[in-house]
Chain A
């Protein structure tokens, strides 16, 4: 546990993820096996993930009865048994789920065919069968682990139990009883909201000014259309001009029909779903683009104020109505909306400036103005999103400043998009927003268009979280459409590999997590002790004379969706079993800092977009961090270290993340372009855990081979090989299961090689910026290449303006290894093309803003922040001590709690 006295803190002592990564550099891939055995008779392993994010990303995850963390993770690995305990420890209880975060190198989620009768489900809570279900009464009943309902098994589903194991005899065939994640193919008749005529489709809505995105026919056919074809999607295309929407149809080679819809106030699709392109026909898009790009109106209409993209989106939705919904990719070059509306929103931008200046005689404080601009100006966009979601349409908005192609990036301020307002549209219907402020960064738009297509995994999805009795899902945060019926389902018309939802979990009552009726009863009677694994709890604190709680908490995320490739209706079920605990220490030991950060950041983003007071949100983030550390310091740490800041192992990087979050464009106090800030907030609200983490803690790495200083950095694949299950330092728990049927102690698995391993990340401070080095830094959106004076002295024309990496985006003066960039772009959808930054160049502040460990402006450095956190913790301790003295022990007995 790294800790040192506050007075003697130096930058080398503070916990840094970089150090951890350097340690892991040469090691093989970590295997994360999420273990749980069937029947709910054993306790699952408390999930505790590696602290290094890179390690989690690289890891090879194995589903052994519990959902992989990729799909479903909780903020804590052991759930506090009672709400009191949760309240005490100050950790938010939430789950973060990305149900389709499949990895190509991992075994896929097993598919169970239930097309005839549908999957077996609990009669009361409708939960799906999972390893936690207990079969009783010789197989004639099963006890649902998510509501404890005693279900009778249908005659035709009846399977006798194996006397030895107490499991159904066909256990080996029952994948849903073996794995934490399964995918059922379900009968379309029972699992469909509306009668469907066709599989959903894709429509590209393109602002005419962004036509250059498509004019590269090489990219169009080889990458984008290939991606569409590979996903077997049907494609529609709407071109939004200033005065009309344009639709194209190629009736014969060389014969193009163009249809214009000039009524932008009441847009609709003039063509039905049967004109959507598919397979071979996709190449017709190229002909249409070539034709459209050659038209003179393109130039005439190029200067229109707004963009008719909203009309285009409506028309696209109209087109998709015939096929039961789908995805709309809308690329806008200006404020999307009807021109008059666009002017109104633009006025908001200018009005904010002028009115502020006029009222006070001096410009209104930038931050104040920003706060106003961060709230959605018009509810229309959210309403529209809701309508679209109800029509099973999801929108991805690509806001691309294409106005001045060729101009150096950052030379002119990007056009005002009012991201805060327009992002409401995609966020309300399960879509994403992407923002490209640099004109000319066509490459980034293209990458993301491909990604948006490739990553589609589900249409017409409905997601439902179920949980053990005693706890229930509460607030959902992310990009989705809540169901109106009062149920806790959420609708996501389209889901991607990176669609992520965060769901808070609350206790139903003070008594906490309910005991299992069979399991719990047998525990108290003492007869069933054979399958109980005693002494697991507490791990290092065996001092517990208190009764060890055997309760297991379950959360099940079920997504009903339409598979895009074959059109079948499916349900993907992820079930996670977590042991509950009454020990504060155990909670702290298994906290997942990334999930906590994700929840905290999303919460903050949501508050800000709803117009919360800026400083309050920032303070509450810090407070959340301080509270946790205070509780740990107060109740878990040894008394001897009273003067030190003590960080629990699982939370040791958390203060750094919080500092990073506060310094990020999303939350920083310094003035930031409202669009940028709104975009980052929207990205935090809807992005994956990794995105949120990248926002809080950018990655800086050496560019291999770019300069002498970087020469030694290797770029290799993460080695796999034969590895034992589980983390090596853990004892193999298989024998304690009492049923060594499917897991043997000697089980080893073959782990394939991982992805190209990125160079280890560096501490985010300027200490290593030496003239002969080249560094790349990215925070999930911006990607900057810092080139020292000597590294690029010969090659770079030190013109101040950054030179980007991509060929179409200028010239690179330093070589960036394509393998590395490819991996980076794959991992970070929405990442802009790299900008090159030189020392003392105008763009350098952008770079320094990302070095969060440094002091910058009024923001503290990492060390300073730790010191201030420590002080706050101390203050809290002092005040609670004082308080404590006021109270009698009888009133305030903490010891009772643990």
Chain B
């Protein structure tokens, strides 16, 4: 039995770890891998009706009418599948002609979207660019150019603002044409929203934000005619301020403060971000707004600084953090954590575009990004395609919407509410979200996984790829069998501000089957090993980041052993008899690569890189996340069509080209022989056209991978034994190492093995890992 789970994902945007759930709490706990799903709230689904123009029918408990409800049109009643309460239908449903059902009741339409036309539309989304001006002039030019490019990509009514920073923070007044006017705030001082409000002379919206009331849409879609200082002066629709913004950017030079030869430039990233946050908090609270921080180095001044300005002060490493030898870390993290809380409350998100060879402080800033639904982009410089292409991608628009170029793919201020049947409970969520602290009956009373204790989460900014990991537990007691024909239901209700300004509600209702807890064949048949691996990865990463002194690898091993012990077929204490079913067979591999991946290993990885990888893991869909855990490797040879090969050092062959896709980077790796052919220029000769074709094929495929990926991956072309080959080799299973063969010192290859590649590593190979696993599994009691 083989199910293509990615097909199921196309139906409602969810990937469940288990499809058959044991009906009792006890049996469920023996399944090891948590019950849950990866849910992509705004995934474009082929089988979804156009957005419904009327308000949804909502039960007293908040559940929305869906195909799984039993509806009595005549009595104008419907029964909520979660609470079994009877609710009234609105009058016009009764008048519906026979045989015709409203779209939300059509069985195929388990996901429907409503346009909440009763809510006045929100103002267009705001984007505040926070630009670092301490980078080298050439880099700054490119950064400026790309800010301008972003303006061109934005719809004309989108609202933008500009803040630049170096030693101080400059808030540019873009609604003023006579001169380039900016407000300058100290870079070494922490300004709260009230201070920024007074200092910048911001207007009315701030008072509403401060009092915590929801902002009425008085701001409306037109930003003019209001006395609000901030909206007119610092934030303006692109169409109106483009000229001014362009001229400000064009004439803007580097931060003028002198930098000593042995110092880093003063860079008050933390304050700039806080000021941007406060500016939006005062003017745009409750509405979609996004802060784009473009930074080219570590924060060296003010709250949020991560390193002193002397070059001799080193940036913290993982070892420093472990040994508590990073004196600025706590303060900086606290600053960004507090800022994140404010941002979440106001519904605003932050993206950080860190373009530097050095670390810029992702590790400290991660709360600001991860909790608000923003993204980290890491590139070596502003001139690197990773920055440029990602930025273009970020501001991409969809085909929807009339007029100029559609709406932004990015939507705002989403609230995800989860409801479920009484037999299960929500334990938490891991993803780019923040808790809204809303308790409901569906919330697990005692278990918390990730961000838990609530049934509603806030995602300040999300795109169609934003994926949440949702965790459930079975709470049905052991002695309480569930009658046949009963299903488990989960409903996701995502209310969000569409980039058109409209408020929308997407309701996804999922039904699933219960199974006998002891019917292992049934349970494992419904096991989605990919989704499980990804969900486990998210959980492992979350626990690494949020739980102190925790040996995550041992924990993962233990779980894996328990899973194999439960679902494997074996005879006790005879490892050679161990077999895993087809649906589980890849799972140990995934775990093996997860253990080795940069998501969990910090060796040779800076704290910033770890934060970067982990942040993306927590927002991408299953397929992408899987590449992070276990990259795909495709082999191209003259003899065969492209074939996926094992992610193993044994796959490296001189006469083959390998294409590795590890999500963050894509490597095209030419075997020795092919590289020599190419160097000899054979591919340029007419008779060796097939070689030229062979050289082209992986490039073409790589381009295809890269094209739609966000963030734009690093693309590497290398030859066997080239310096860049390490990108590939680091990902390979070390089945052949310097310990397994004889090293021929003269040729550098392995004697006897001919041209086979090997790795200098002490890591265990997958074979050894699996051997150990088998032994442990069969020995388990």
Contacts and interface: CB of A to CB of B under 8 A. Distances in A.
Closest 7 CB pairs of A and B: A270-B184, A262-B199, A256-B179, A258-B181, A257-B180, A260-B183, A258-B179
Q: Chain B interface residue count: which class?
A: 20 to 34
A291 B251 contact: no
B257 interface: yes
A320 B219 CA distance: 44
B256 interface: yes
A315 to B, nearest CB: 10
Interface stretch (A59-67, A136-144, A271-279, A841-849): A271-279
Interface string A246-264: 0100011001111111110
A266 interface: yes
A719 interface: no
Given A262-B201, A263-B199, A272-B256, 5 more contacts: A252-B251, A257-B179, A260-B183, A263-B189, A270-B168
B186 interface: yes
Nearest to A267: B186
21 contacts: A251-B180, A255-B179, A255-B180, A256-B179, A257-B180, A257-B182, A258-B182, A259-B182, A260-B182, A261-B185, A262-B183, A262-B185, A262-B199, A262-B201, A263-B195, A268-B168, A270-B168, A270-B170, A272-B256, A272-B258, A322-B258
A275 B179 CA distance: 17
Interface of B: 168, 170, 178-186, 189, 195, 198-201, 251, 256-258
A322 B167 CA distance: 14
Contacts of B180: 251, 255-258
A238 to B, nearest CB: 12
Contact of A259 (B170, B186, B195, B199): B170
A291 B201 CA distance: 21
- Most chain A C-beta atoms within 10 Å of own C-beta, residue among B179, B189, B256: B179
Contacts of A231: none
A268 B257 CA distance: 13
B263 to A, nearest CB: 15
A536 interface: no
Interface residues of A, number: 24
B258 A268 contact: no
A268 B183 contact: no
Contacts of A275: 256
Given A268-B186, A270-B168, A270-B170, A260 B256 contact: no
Nearest to A255: B251
Contacts of B257: 272
A244 interface: yes
A243 interface: yes
Interface in A230-251: 243-244, 247, 251
A845 to B, nearest CB: 47
B113 to A, nearest CB: 45
Contacts of B200: 262
A220 to B, nearest CB: 19
A361 B16 CA distance: 89
A275 B170 CA distance: 16
A268 B187 CA distance: 10
B105 to A, nearest CB: 58
Contact of B179 (A244, A274, A291): A291
A251 to B, nearest CB: 5
A625 to B, nearest CB: 56
A574 B201 CA distance: 56
A364 to B, nearest CB: 39
B186 A263 contact: yes
Contacts, number: 62
B201 A261 contact: no
A263 B186 CA distance: 8
Nearest to A262: B199
A489 B579 CA distance: 93
A251 B200 CA distance: 24
Contacts of A255: 179-180, 251
A274 B179 CA distance: 20
A271 B182 CA distance: 12
Nearest to A271: B256
Contacts of B199: 262-263
B184 A257 contact: no
Contacts of A243: 201
Interface in A260-299: 260-263, 266, 268, 270-272, 274-275, 291, 295
A373 to B, nearest CB: 32
A259 B184 contact: yes
Contacts of A270: 168, 170, 184
Contacts of B170: 259, 270
B184 A274 contact: no
A261 B184 contact: yes
Contact of B256 (A244, A263, A274, A295): A274
Contacts of A251: 180, 251
Interface in A307-339: 322
Contacts of B201: 243, 262
Contacts of A274: 256, 258
A871 to B, nearest CB: 66
B185 A263 contact: yes
A291 B178 contact: yes
A260 B181 contact: yes
A257 B199 CA distance: 19
Nearest to B195: A263
Nearest to B187: A268
A275 B255 CA distance: 12
A322 B256 CA distance: 12
A286 B77 CA distance: 79
Nearest to A295: B178
B353 to A, nearest CB: 25
A251 B183 CA distance: 17
B414 to A, nearest CB: 35
A71 B306 CA distance: 56
A252 B251 CA distance: 9
A266 B182 CA distance: 17
Nearest to B179: A256
Contacts of A262: 183, 185, 198-201
A297 to B, nearest CB: 10
Contacts of A263: 185-186, 189, 195, 199
A256 B179 CA distance: 5
A270 to B, nearest CB: 4
B251 A266 contact: no
A583 to B, nearest CB: 64
A623 B638 CA distance: 117
B251 to A, nearest CB: 5
A244 B173 CA distance: 14
- Most chain A C-beta atoms within 10 Å of own C-beta, residue among B178, B189, B195, B199: B199
A262 B180 CA distance: 16
Contacts of B181: 257-260
Nearest to B256: A272
A260 B179 CA distance: 12
A284 to B, nearest CB: 13
Contacts of A295: 178
B582 to A, nearest CB: 67
Nearest to A249: B180
Nearest to A261: B184
A247 B181 CA distance: 10
A397 B168 CA distance: 28
- Most chain B C-beta atoms within 10 Å of own C-beta, residue among A252, A258, A260, A295: A260
Contacts of B184: 247, 259-261, 270
Contacts of A272: 256-258
Contacts of B182: 257-260
Nearest to A273: B258
Nearest to B168: A270
B190 to A, nearest CB: 12
A257 B253 CA distance: 12
A246 to B, nearest CB: 9
Contact of B251 (A247, A257, A259): A257
B271 to A, nearest CB: 12
Contacts of A261: 183-185
